[in-house]
Amino acid sequence: MNTTAKLLAPLTKGGHHFRNRIAMAPMSRRRATGDAMPTDNMRIYYGQRASAGLIIVENTAVAPNGVGYQHNPGIFSAAQQKVWKQITDEVHQQGGTIFIQLVHTGRIGHPANQQGLPTVGASNVAAAGMVGIPGGNHVPLPVPDTLTTAGAAAMVQAHVDAAIAAMEAGFDGVEIHGAHGFLPAQFLHPATNQRTDKYGGSIVNRSRFLMEIMEGVAIAIGKEHTGLRLSPFSGLNDLPTYPEELATHQYLAEELDKLGILYIHLSDQSVNGQPPIPHAYLEDLRQRFHQLIILAGGYTPATAEARLQEGLADIIAFGRPFISNPDLVERIRYQLPLAPADPETFYQGGDRGLIDYPTYQIIKENCGLADDLQPA
Ligand SMILES: Cc1cc2nc3c(=O)[nH]c(=O)nc-3n(C[C@H](O)[C@H](O)[C@H](O)COP(=O)(O)O)c2cc1C
């Protein structure tokens, strides 16, 4: 029996043709320049992985005060947009589909990493933890400035503008980063959202920032080009689970369903020691949201196939396996062994650990083995 039949099956939706149901999860590799410019080695990196059914490019800042970490890329200038165009061209030339994850990191960051601009948040509540800054030091995450009501609306607009810029740069769509404790998640969570304006208080109000982004982006670039990543119950970046978390996410799922965006992408962080997303929640989401569901977090080809067969997801995103296996799709197709990724070079190392992982074919040629790959 072919154990990856569904993973390898194509999928057509919203005018997109995904040649398989294997997505490359968004992964910061922090190879941009100090002023958030994407670089040519990123073109090579994504091009090497173009056989994915869908590439979701690493989190990319929508505004200079939302870069967060050193060497994260942005998409808020014409110069950045130009390099992104070269990257999308590279992937398209190989028949791939490529979305970009748009982020505003909010309180998770440091002025030293974003042109001296202060960090901002839904409220002035700092996250526990440290952040790396230029010079090799790690410092505590700062207390963010509270965004005014007009300031919050400006950050909504920054996401919309970035989505338009991304489409102009040739992306097939965008994924809003609503997960992992960054700015939209800081608005959702009552611990970091202590506001009394229209963006604070009730579930509807706490969801307003994210929903305004989703509506604005869907109107600007089309709902079929709009996706969203969420990480319910994950606790990441000092946002522990809270009593209204389920109700908040149920509300979001229903509103997003009405909006008709292309997909919701759930990030399960249990591989990093956080609580898993409960199975009952996945079933609940399937009932409330009728577009595509992407799941990510610790999948192997076998568990990914099982999840698809179970009917709780349409696409599975792989993270670390795509770092070290540029030909991950071929390896899954032919049931070839997967190379392990080296965490030392996840966020540093230049070309090393970025564009020098060989394909299985190259390994074989280097070993002088015959070309006898057969679909399993
Ligand atoms: C090096 C690295 C960078 C990551 N950067 C991002 C990111 O930019 N945005 C995001 O939503 N998730 C990010 N993640 C999480 C991945 O998208 C994925 O959810 C996670 O690695 C679990 O999937 P895996 O077990 O297949 O690796 C990152 C993970 C890794 C390992």
Domains in the chain with CATH codes: 11-295+306-318 (3.20.20.70)
pLDDT score of 77 more than 70: yes
Can you list the alpha helix ranges (DSSP code H) found in 78-202? 78-93, 149-168, 183-188
Given this model, what pLDDT does residue 2 score? 60
Q: What is the pLDDT confidence band of residue 374, given thresholds at 50, 70 and 90? A: low
Q: How many helices (H) and strands (E) does the chain have?
A: 11, 14
Give tens-digit pLDDT for 198-213. 999 999 999 999 999 9
For a mutational test of ligand 1's pocket, the pick from 24, 27, 338, i.e. the residue with the most ligand atoms closer than 8 A to its C-beta, is 27
Task: Tell whether ligand 1 has an atom less than 6 A from the beta carbon of residue 26.
Answer: yes
Specify the pLDDT at position 373.
58
Average pLDDT over residues 275-299: 97
CB of residue 32 inside a 6 A radius of ligand 1: no
Calculate Rg over the CA atoms of the chain. Answer: 20
Mean of pLDDT over the chain: 96
Going by pLDDT thresholds of 50, 70 and 90, the confidence category of residue 73 is very high
- pLDDT on residue 362: 85
pLDDT for res 370: 58
CA of 365 to the centre of ligand 1 (A): 31
Does 27 sit in the ligand 1 pocket, CB within 6 Å?
yes
Beta-bridge partner residues of 29: none
* pLDDT score of 375 more than 80: no
- d(CA 244, CA 263) in angstroms, rounded, equals 23
Q: Is the pLDDT reported for residue 139 higher than 50? A: yes
DSSP state of 260: T
Specify the higher pLDDT residue, 2 or 342.
342
In the chain, alpha helices (H): 40-48, 78-93, 149-168, 183-188, 203-221, 245-259, 279-288, 301-310, 320-324, 328-333, 360-367
**What residue's CA is closest to ligand 1, atom 25?**
298
3-state SS, residue 5? coil
Q: Is 76's pLDDT higher than 80?
A: yes
pLDDT tops 50 at residue 127: yes
State residue 376's pLDDT score: 47
Q: Which residue minimizes the CA distance to atom 30 of ligand 1?
A: 27
Residue nearest atom 29 in ligand 1 by C-alpha distance: 27
Cβ–ligand 1 distance for 226 under 6 Å, the answer no
Whole-angstrom CA distances from 117 to 78, 120, 142, 306 are 20, 9, 12, 46
State the pLDDT at residue 1: 45
Considering only CA atoms, which of 267, 170, 269, 167 is closest in space to residue 218?
A: 167
pLDDT tens-digit readout, 217-271: 999 999 999 999 999 999 899 999 999 999 999 999 999 999 999 999 999 999 9
